[in-house]
Amino acid sequence: MAKVKAAVDKILSRFISKKLTVWLTATGLSLYGGVTSGDWVTISMVYIGSQAAVDLVVALKQQR
């Protein structure tokens, strides 16, 4: 199982970030009733906030 997970992680890391994968999974689960709308909003806000933090750090490093 660990080998399969490592292979999937390697493939996904080439195409999309893990945060985006979590957000897409939550969106899919919300469409099928696996995640409540409140949980989806929380996941979305964490995704947006963490992405904004990463973008800020990159911008600050480029200014140096």
Residues across the chain: 64
Domain ranges for the chain, please list them: 17-63
* DSSP letters spanning 1-64: -HHHHHHHHHHHHHHS-HHHHHHHHHHHHHHTTSS-HHHHHHHHHHHHHHHHHHHHHHHHHHH-
Q: What is the pLDDT of residue 12?
A: 65
Please tell me the predicted confidence (pLDDT) of residue 56. Answer: 85
Predicted confidence at residue 24, as pLDDT, reads 86
The 10s digit of each residue's pLDDT in 31-47 is 988 889 898 888 888 88
As a whole number of angstroms, the distance between CA 51 and CA 58 comes to 11
- Residues of the chain with confidence (pLDDT) below 50: none
